[in-house]
Every structure is written in structure tokens, then in C-alpha cells.
Amino acid sequence: MQVVDDLLLECLEDVYHSLEKALRKLENVRSIHVAEMERLAEELRSERRIFEELSGPARLIVEHLLECQHKNALVSIEAEQISQPFATVGKISVLPFGIIKLTLSNLELAWRDGNYTYYLYPDKIELRARDEKSGIKLFFTLPFSRQLIEGFADLPAAKNLAYIHPQLVKWFKTN
């Protein structure tokens, strides 16, 4: 997977640098198109952070959320006093310092990767704060795919992964 990750990062960098070069040419232009190009540059920075700043479990979650978004699958959230019924994924972004921001319907949820441990099940994930005082549950209508899981062969050794469902463990072992 490292070779694929390196290639994806290299291509993201190429696109980002081309976009930055174009934005420098347009720095004195006032147009909605320039604003859209700036938004694209921020989206590219977010994509890069998926590879550079997230732990394996957080990256698996983000990639699964992106797949849910692409396939119009539904996601539900339970966190503290908040409950969001199943809805399509609106936006996923990774901010500096490993902060993951997820928008479902009119709810926006953010968590910092380094502050949570992860529990993986075929159709849900639990994130528990390291101090065990808070938690987040994400439920999916689209279960994790074998192809996605097999791409994270080193995930079982991640220090912030607390539990993997036996079905998912089988898929890790087939690599």
C-alpha cells in the first residue's frame, strides 16, 4: 500500500502545485471562479492530510466515509446527547492536526484523531475518547468492503485500535 500511497501523494502534489501556480497568476483578478479555485486548493490540502496526518484506523474510516459518499450510502451518528438518523454524507475534510470534520444533513461533527481509540465492526465504528468520558458511534448502511480492509494490512498493529470484529480480522489475515 505504501507504493500506492506515495503515488497518490505525488499526484496530489502535482495538481496542487499547478493550481497554486494558476492562483498566483490570478491574484489580482476578482471573480467567483478564483474563489472556486481556492476552494479546490483547500480540498486538495485536505486530501493530502488523509495520507500525512491520520492514523491507520482514522484513515480507514475517512476512506470508508468517502466511499459511502460516492455510493450515496447512508450514515447515522450517535454522540453524547446528539443523534442523527441515517443521512447521506455531505462533506468530509481533514483539517490541520488530524481533525476530521464530517457533515451529515444539517449536523457537523468533528474529532481529533489523536484523542480517540477505535473499535471496528463490519457496519459501524466506535470512537472512544482516551479519557473514556465521551464517545462517537457511526453506523453505515454500506458495510466495510473486503477490498478496503485488505488495503490496510498493518492496521491490526495500530496503537490506537482497541478492537476489530472477527469478520474483519479474517480479511486482514488473508493478505
Q: What is the pLDDT of residues 115-171, one digit of tens each?
A: 999 999 999 999 999 877 789 999 999 999 988 888 888 888 899 999 999 988 888
What dihedral do alpha carbons 90, 93, 95, 99 form, nearest 10°? 80
The model carries a pTM of 0.88
Q: Which fold has domain 56-173?
A: Heme iron utilization protein-like fold (3.40.1570)
What DSSP line would sit under 95-137, residue for residue? EGGGEEEEEETTEEEEEEGGGEEEEE-SSEEEEEETTSS-EEE
pLDDT bin (cut points 50, 70, 90) of residue 174 is: low
pLDDT at 81: 85
Q: Hey, which residues does 89 pair with through a beta bridge?
A: 104
Reduced to 3 states (helix: H, G, I; strand: E, B; else coil), residue 82 is strand
Domain boundaries, the chain: 2-52, 56-173
Q: Hey, which residues does 94 pair with through a beta bridge?
A: 100
Pairwise pLDDT comparison (1 vs 153), residue with the higher score: 153
